[in-house]
A and B are shown apart, each in its own frame.
Chain A
Amino acid sequence: MTTMSNQSQNLVLEPERYEFSSGSIHHFELARREFFKLLGAGIAVFAIAKDSQAAQETAPSHGFHPQDLPSDISAWLHIGENGGVTAFCGKVEIGQNIRTSLAQTVADELRVPFESVRMVMGDTSLTPFDAGTFGSRTTPSMTPQLRRVASAARDLLIEVAAKEWNVAPESLKAANAKITDPASGRSLTYASLARGKTLAQNLPEQDPITPPPDWTIAGKPVPKVDARDFVTGRRQYTPDLHPAGMLYGKVLRPPSFGATLTSYDDTAAKSTIGVVVVRDGDFVAAAAPTEREASAALTAIRAQWKEDPPKTSSRDIFSYLKNNAETKSDDRHRKQKGSVEDVLAGAAHRLDATYTVAYIAHAPLEPRAALAEWSGEKLTVWTGSQRPFGVRGELADTLRIPESNVRVIVPDTGSAYGGKHTGDAAIEAARLARAAGRPVKVVWTREEEFTWAYFRPAGVIEVKSAIAPDGKLLAWDFHNYHSGSSGIETPYVVPNLRTEFHSVPLVLRSGSYRGLAATANHFARETHMDALAHSAKIDPLEFRLKNLEDARLRAVLEAAAKTFGWPRAKAADLGFGIAGGNEKGSYVATCAEIAVENNSGSVRVVRLVTAFECGAIVNPDGLRNQVIGANIQGLGGALFEAIEFENGRITNPRFSRYRVPRFRDLPEIEAVLLDRKDIAPAGAGETPIMAVAPAIGNAIFDATAKRLNNLPLIPNGLKRT
Chain B
Amino acid sequence: MPTAIEIDVNGKLYPVHYHPETPLLYVLRDELGLTGSKYGCGEGQCGSCTVLLGGQPRRSCQIPVSAAVGKPVTTIEGLEKDGRLHPVQQAFIDAGAFQCAYCTPGMIMSSVGLLQSNPHPSSAEIVQFLQGNICRCGTQPRIVDAVQQAAKAMQERAR
Q: Spell out A's residues near B (CB within 8 Å).
A: 94-97, 223-224, 227-228, 230-237, 239-240, 242, 248, 290-292, 363-367, 412-415, 417, 443, 445-446, 621, 625-626, 628-633, 654-656, 660-664, 666, 669
Q: Is the CB of A446 within 8 A of B42?
A: yes
> Do A233 and B30 form a contact, CB below 8 Å, given A95-B100, A656-B43?
no
> Which residue of chain B has the shortest Cβ distance to A223 in the bound complex?
B96
Shortest CB-to-CB span from B88 to chain A, Å, is: 8
Task: Please give me the residue from chain A that is nearest to B132 by CB atom.
Answer: A662
CB distance from A532 to the nearest CB of B (A): 31
Question: Judging by beta carbons under 8 Å apart, are B99 and A415 in contact?
Answer: yes
One digit per residue, 1 when the CB lies within 8 angstroms of any chain A CB and 0 when it does not, for chain B 10-40 equals 0000000011001000100110011111111
Would A235 and B101 count as touching, CB distance under 8 A? yes
Q: Are A664's CB and B100's CB within 8 A? A: no
Complex: A446 Cα to B47 Cα, angstroms: 13
Q: With A446-B41, A663-B130 given, is the CB distance from A233 to B77 under 8 Å?
A: yes
Decide if B141 is an interface residue (CB 8 Å cutoff): yes
Cross-chain pairs A/B with CB under 8 angstroms, 8 sampled? A227-B93, A240-B29, A365-B100, A366-B38, A413-B100, A415-B99, A655-B43, A663-B140
- Closest CB of chain A to B81's CB: distance in Å? 11
Given A365-B134, A365-B136, A656-B43, check contact A669 B141 (CB 8 Å).
yes
- Taking A227-B98, A632-B138 as known contacts, 8 extra A-B pairs with beta carbons closer than 8 A to each other, sorted by chain A number, are A231-B85, A291-B26, A367-B40, A415-B102, A445-B42, A654-B43, A662-B134, A663-B127
Report the nearest B residue to A665, measured CB to CB: B140
In angstroms, Cα B26 to Cα A662, docked, is 26
For A663, the chain B residues whose CB sits under 8 A away are 126-128, 130-131, 133, 140, 144
Q: Mark B77-114, 1 if CB is under 8 A from A, else 0.
A: 10110000100011011001011111111001000000
**Which of chain A's residues have a CB closer than 8 A to the CB of B140?**
632, 661-663, 666
- The answer on a CB contact under 8 Å between B130 and A233 is no
Q: Is B60 positioned at the interface, with any CB of A under 8 Å from its CB? A: no
> In angstroms, how far is the closest chain B Cβ from the Cβ of A498?
36
- Identify which of B35, B45, B48, B90 contacts A236 (C-beta below 8 A): B35
The answer to whether A224 touches B102 (Cβ under 8 A) is no
Query: Known contacts A231-B108, A415-B136; is A237 also within 8 Å of B99 by CB?
Result: no
**B22 x A292 contact (CB < 8 A):** yes
Interface pair B35/A240, CB less than 8 Å apart: yes
Min CB distance A692 to B, Å, is: 11
B90 partner residues in chain A, CB cutoff 8 A: 231
Instruction: Give B39 Cβ to nearest chain A Cβ, in Å.
Output: 6
| A591 to B100 Cα, complex, angstroms | 27
Chain B residue contacts of A633, Cβ below 8 A: 136-138
Q: Which of A366, A630, A656 has the most CB of B within 10 A?
A: A366
Interchain residue pairs A-B with the least CB separation, the first 8: A233-B36, A95-B100, A414-B102, A632-B138, A629-B138, A233-B76, A240-B35, A655-B45
Q: Chain B nearest CB: distance from A40 CB in Å?
A: 30
B61 to chain A, nearest CB (A): 10
Residue from B18, B85, B101, B141 whose CB has the most chain A CB atoms within 10 Å? B101
Complex Cα distance, B40 from A655, in Å, reads 10
B142 at the interface (CB under 8 A from A): yes
The one of A232, A291, A629, A664 in contact with B99, judged by C-beta atoms closer than 8 angstroms, is A629
Q: How far is the CB of B20 from chain A (nearest CB, A)?
A: 11
Nearest CB of chain B from residue A186's CB, rounded to whole Å: 40
A664 to B128, Cβ gap below 8 A?
yes
- Are A364 and B19 in touch, CB under 8 angstroms? no
Q: Is the CB of A654 within 8 A of B45?
A: yes
Residue of B nearest to A635 (CB): B138
**For A235, what are the chain B residues with a Cβ–Cβ distance below 8 Å?**
101
Task: Judge if B139 is at the interface, Cβ distance under 8 Å.
Answer: yes
Contact between A414 and B138, CB atoms less than 8 A apart: no
Least Cβ–Cβ distance between B121 and chain A, in angstroms: 12
The distance in angstroms between the C-alpha atoms of A634 and B48, with both chains bound, is: 21
- Contact status B96-A242, CB under 8 Å: no
Structural contact, A228 and B85, CB atoms closer than 8 A: yes
Query: With a CB–CB cut-off of 8 A, which chain B residues contact A655?
Result: 41, 43, 45-46, 134
Q: A621 to B96, alpha carbons, bound, how many Å?
A: 8
Determine how close the nearest CB of chain A comes to the CB of B73; give it in whole angstroms.
14
A363: shortest Cβ distance to chain B, in Å?
A: 6
B99 close to A96 (CB less than 8 A): yes
Tell me the nearest residue of chain A to B108, going by C-beta: A231
Q: Nearest chain-A residue to B35 (Cβ)?
A: A240
| Cβ 8 A contact of A231, one of B22, B89, B133 | B89
Q: In the complex the two chains form, what is the Cα distance from A666 to B105 in whole Å?
A: 21
A290 vs B21: C-alpha distance when bound (angstroms): 13
Task: Tell me how far the C-beta of B23 lies from the nearest C-beta in chain A, rounded to whole angstroms.
Answer: 9
CA distance A363 to B100 in the complex (A): 13
- Known contacts A292-B18, A365-B48, A632-B138; A232/B127 CB under 8 A: no
Q: Tell me, in angstroms, the Cα distance from A264 to B100 when the chains sit together.
A: 41
Which residue among A96, A446, A631 has the maximum number of chain B CB atoms within 10 Å of its CB? A446
Q: Contact between A224 and B43 (Cβ–Cβ < 8 Å)?
A: no
* Contact assessment for A625 and B139 in the assembled complex, using a CB-CB cutoff below 8 Å: yes
Q: Is B148 an interface residue (CB 8 A)?
A: no
Contact B137 A629 (CB under 8 A): yes
Rounded to whole angstroms, the CA-CA distance of A632 and B45 in the bound complex is 18
A232–B108 CA distance with the chains assembled, in angstroms? 9
